[in-house]
């Protein structure tokens, strides 16, 4: 049976669900293995934490290959088992299946996990030139499709004149249950605003484009934890300008925060159906449309168009198209293009016949 201290590990986000998984690994000769969490990733090395101290570890080739075979890799936030060999080198011997995982599709189609075992994603966007409702909507869809809750954090509220207008614009457009906060990420007030999500056992990830203010917010949220425990990477106050690696930090309130580099392109790793379900306002209204296959593009009796902004609908369709595209093989794509062409022709033909 794996020996572990729930109390200590819960300081770095252990939840009962993960603890049960470790408890289930019984009598498999792994009694020397210790549960730890990945708090920083490098190319071949991981920084792990057990709630008390850090260790550098590598992954056993067998574990690496097993993951690769499933198109998977270890990522920040993962819980793993670690064993130490006779040379005092530490090896990851197993990974607990993640409860949630945020992933994207790389350009070559491969799945790229961004963070595991996350409860809430803080979608960070500047109220300055960074502000873009469509991008936030895309983040929301992708994150919710991974089973992770979202909070929109609009930074630089102190630095722009029309913060209120932009917040109102988002509120109008987004689902009612989505928390939207406007903050000054450099001020301690941001910590108060985010307090409901900072409790012990919570793991947060910050997502947003480069320059949005993720590192600034991380520093503000982790400020005191760095001094009192020394546990987990402290907020990076070294004046580094661009985040290049992912790392996990601890808040004084107990939450773990994962900072990620800016996401330039983010293709969904979710099927179209999962994405559609994240536009819950559309999903709720659509059954009331007159036509069952209403596309909400102006059909008579559409129940959606009056209540959901046209741009939001466009964005939803674009996302779903992207998702469908990444699900298809090249052959399926060609077949679909042919089908559309044929449909188009048939449509033209019908139109001609009508005109006669
Ligand atoms: N006035 C003001 N400036 C901010 C705020 N948040 C961030 N900044 C400034 O915006 C710049 C970019 O912030 P960062 O925290 O480095 O942005 P980032 O999202 O971590 O960027 P990457 O590391 O490149 O992904 C810095 O100069 C910050 O000081 C804010 O709420 N108010
Ligand atoms: Zn409709």
Which residues neighbour 265 within 8 Å (Cβ) at sequence distance 6 or greater? 107
pLDDT at 227 over 50: no
Q: To test the ligand 1 pocket, which listed residue (185, 188, 217, 221) has its Cβ within 8 A of the most ligand atoms?
A: 185
* % of the chain with per-residue pLDDT over 70: 79
pLDDT at 224 over 50: no
Q: Which of 40-54, 163-177, 277-291, 331-345 has the lowest mean pLDDT?
A: 331-345
Model pTM?
Answer: 0.76
Q: Which of 89-93, 103-107, 182-186, 288-292 has the lowest mean pLDDT?
A: 103-107
Looking at the CA of 284, name the nearest ligand.
Answer: 2
More confident residue, 296 or 246: 296
The predicted model gives 324-341 an average pLDDT of: 63
At 178, is the pLDDT very low, low, confident or very high (cuts 50, 70, 90)?
A: very high
Does residue 15's CB lie within 6 angstroms of at least one atom of ligand 1?
Answer: no
Does residue 155's CB lie within 6 angstroms of at least one atom of ligand 1?
Answer: yes
Q: Which two tokens stand for residue 175?
A: 């689902």
pLDDT at 62 over 50: yes
CA 60 to each of CA 24, 95, 325: distance values in angstroms, whole numbers, following the listed order: 21, 11, 35
The predicted model gives 42-56 an average pLDDT of: 89
At 31, is the pLDDT very low, low, confident or very high (cuts 50, 70, 90)?
A: low
Give this complex's ipTM. Answer: 0.95
Q: What angle do CA 81, 87, 91 make, to 5 degrees?
A: 20
Task: Give the torsion sign (CA, 95, 100, 104, 105).
Answer: positive
Q: To test the ligand 1 pocket, which listed residue (213, 243, 244, 263) has its Cβ within 8 A of the most ligand atoms?
A: 213
Q: Which of 68, 210, 205, 200 is nearest to 129 (CA)?
A: 210
Determine the pLDDT at residue 184.
95
SS3 for 150?
Answer: strand
At 235, is the pLDDT very low, low, confident or very high (cuts 50, 70, 90)?
A: very low
More confident residue, 29 or 112: 112
At 123, is the pLDDT very low, low, confident or very high (cuts 50, 70, 90)?
A: very high
At 331, is the pLDDT very low, low, confident or very high (cuts 50, 70, 90)?
A: low
pLDDT at 233 over 50: no
Q: What pLDDT, in 10s, does the model give residues 300-316?
A: 999 999 899 888 898 88
Q: What pLDDT, in 10s, does the model give residues 252-262?
A: 889 999 987 76
pLDDT at 281 over 70: yes
Determine the pLDDT at residue 238.
38
Ligand 1: nearest atom to the Cα of 244: 23
The domains located in the chain, with CATH, are 6-95 (2.40.50.140), 101-259 (3.40.50.300), 271-355 (1.10.40)
pLDDT at 225 over 60: no
CA 187 to each of CA 184, 220, 327: distance values in angstroms, whole numbers, following the listed order: 6, 7, 43
């Amino acid at each position: 049976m794996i020996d572990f201290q729930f109390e200590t590990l819960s300081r770095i986000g252990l939840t009962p669900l993960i603890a049960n998984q470790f408890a289930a690994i019984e009598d498999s000769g792994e009694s020397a293995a210790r549960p730890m969490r990945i708090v920083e990733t490098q190319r071949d090395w991981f920084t792990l934490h057990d709630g008390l101290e850090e260790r550098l570890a590598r992954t056993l080739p067998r574990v690496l290959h097993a993951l690769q075979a499933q198109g998977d890799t270890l990522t920040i936030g993962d819980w793993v088992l670690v064993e130490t060999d006779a040379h005092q080198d530490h090896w990851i011997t197993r990974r607990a299946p993640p409860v949630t995982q945020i992933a994207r599709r790389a350009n070559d189609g491969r799945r790229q996990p961004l963070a595991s075992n996350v409860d809430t994603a803080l979608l960070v966007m500047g109220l300055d030139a960074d502000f873009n409702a469509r991008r936030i909507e895309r983040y929301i869809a992708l994150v919710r499709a991974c089973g992770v809750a979202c909070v929109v954090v609009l930074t630089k509220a102190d630095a722009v004149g029309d913060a209120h207008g932009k917040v109102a614009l988002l509120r109008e457009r987004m689902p009612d249950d989505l928390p939207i906060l406007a903050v000054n990420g450099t001020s301690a007030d941001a910590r108060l605003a985010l307090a409901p999500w900072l409790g012990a056992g919570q793991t947060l990830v910050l997502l947003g484009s480069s320059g949005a203010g993720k590192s600034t917010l991380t520093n503000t949220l982790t400020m005191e934890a760095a001094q009192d425990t020394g546990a987990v990477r402290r907020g990076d106050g070294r004046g580094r300008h661009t985040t290049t690696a992912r790392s996990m930090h601890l808040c004084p309130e107990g939450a773990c925060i994962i900072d990620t580099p800016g996401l330039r392109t983010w293709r969904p790793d979710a099927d179209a159906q999962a994405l559609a379900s994240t536009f819950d306002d559309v999903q709720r209204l659509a059954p009331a449309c007159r036509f069952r296959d209403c596309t909400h593009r102006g059909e008579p009796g559409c129940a959606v168009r009056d209540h959901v902004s046209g741009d939001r609908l466009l964005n939803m369709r674009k996302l779903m198209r992207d998702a469908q595209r990444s699900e298809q093989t090249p052959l399926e794509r060609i077949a679909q293009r042919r089908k559309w062409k044929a449909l188009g022709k048939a449509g033209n033909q019908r139109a001609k016949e009508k005109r006669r």
